[in-house]
Amino acid sequence: MNKEISVPEARRRPFLRGCAIVAVVFAAFFVLIGLISRVDDFSLKTGDKVAVLPVTGLITDSEATIEQLKKFAKDKSIKAIILRINSPGGGVGPSQEIYEEVRKLKGKKIVVTSMGALAASGGYYIACGSQKIFANPGTITGSIGVIMQFVNARELIEKIGLKGMVVKSGAFKDIGSPVRDMKPEERELLQGVIDNVHSQFIAAVAEGRRMDRGKVAGIADGRIFSGEQAKALGLVDALGNLEDAVAEAGKMAGIEGDPRVVTPPKKKISILDLLKEEAKSIISDKLTESRFRLDYLAQ
């Protein structure tokens, strides 16, 4: 005897079939997307590439930029690297470290700089390590110079009835103290340090741009230039945007047709990472408030 099917059960079966069909369609769709992405990844890995490495904001650390430069250098499919600089400069040490790493790539990779709105002081220092520099006509660049800044709060401290006292091991140990005026011999010492670091900047520009050192020294007084002015002076090679720089880098590297452009992967940052970075930044700022810091920085 055939068992009769209840009305609710009979209605449920078409619904279940529909759900099963939808599930199969979705599964097939995701499998197809996965296959396509694998094909794309494979094609990107096998084609000749031009990598674009952004150098943006205040240059306070060189570690991340140098690490990415090394990764690009090891990738045989990357034939050229574009430094996309949009920076007012920053610390002398980090700027010099990135510059030296860029110089090491000569003979291994084509390195071209593309300047954005601003590529001054330490930003320009880094650019000088590359083989060719592009700037927009209105890019702000130059500012070849060194600066060390101090705050003197002596009068304010005296007004509120406080007095600073220091115990030191040598005459210059508290140089730049905010609680007293700077002595002539202290200013002379600091000027000597700044002049020496400034000379290093001039030498880097003269070497990187193949310019006469005397000519560089004549314009290395901290003044800024537009991209158009910089080109006339020989501080940049050509006027053009990022696309122009990519095209030129591809030609210099011998890439036929349009090069494949790649950028560093975006790092996934957790809330904990953000909190750690913020704490690190605050501690670093507090530790350096009363210390000496030389900057290649546009003011």
In a domain, residue 183? The reply is: yes
Which of 173, 183, 251, 280 does the annotation list as catalytic?
173
DSSP-based three-state secondary structure for 24: helix
Tell me the mean pLDDT in the region 72-100.
96
In a domain, residue 236? The reply is: yes
In a domain, residue 36? The reply is: no
Q: How many domains does the chain have?
A: 1
Which of 121, 130, 143, 177 does the annotation list as catalytic?
121
How does pLDDT run across 121-164, given as a tens digit for each residue?
Answer: 999 999 999 999 999 999 999 999 999 988 888 888 888 988 88
Tokens of 148: 């060390």
Average predicted confidence (pLDDT) for the chain = 85
**Amino acid identity at 46:** T
In a domain, residue 117? The reply is: yes
pLDDT of residue 111: 97
Three-class secondary structure assignment of 212-230: CHHHHHHHCCCCEEEHHHH
**Is 130 annotated in the active site?**
no
**Cβ atoms of residues 228 and 140 within 8 Å:** no
More confident residue, 198 or 276: 198
DSSP 235: S
Per mean pLDDT, which of 7-16, 268-277, 284-293 is the most reliable?
268-277
In a domain, residue 291? The reply is: yes
More confident residue, 266 or 211: 211
For residues 38-60, one letter each, b for 16 or more C-beta atoms within 10 angstroms of the residue's C-beta and e for the rest, the string is: eeeeeeeeeebbbbbbbbeeebb
Handedness of CA 231, 236, 238, 240 (dihedral sign): negative
Predicted structure pTM score: 0.77
**Is 173 annotated in the active site?**
yes
pLDDT band with cut points at 50, 70 and 90 for residue 30: low
Whole-number Å distance between alpha carbons of 92 and 284: 16
Q: Which residues contact 113 (CB under 8 A, 6 or more apart)?
A: 82, 83, 85, 119, 126, 127, 130, 132, 133, 134, 245
pLDDT of residue 41: 42
Of 236, 239, 81, nearest in space to 144 by CA: 236
**Amino acid identity at 139:** T
Structure-token match 């220091």, residue found: 166
Q: In terms of DSSP H, where are the helices of the chain?
A: 7-46, 63-74, 92-104, 122-127, 154-159, 184-209, 213-219, 227-233, 242-252, 271-288
Lowest-confidence region among 43-57, 90-104, 112-126: 43-57
**Cβ atoms of residues 143 and 116 within 8 Å:** no
pLDDT band with cut points at 50, 70 and 90 for residue 290: very low
How does pLDDT run across 195-242, given as a tens digit for each residue?
Answer: 999 999 999 999 999 999 999 999 999 999 999 999 999 999 999 999
pLDDT of residue 119: 97
- Does the pLDDT at position 40 exceed 90? no
Containing structural domain, residue 197: 47-265+277-297
Percent of the chain residues past pLDDT 70, beyond the cut: 77
In a domain, residue 119? The reply is: yes
In a domain, residue 8? The reply is: no
CATH of the domain at 178: 3.90.226.10
In a domain, residue 201? The reply is: yes
For residues 199-209, one letter each, b for 16 or more C-beta atoms within 10 angstroms of the residue's C-beta and e for the rest, the string is: eebbebbbebb
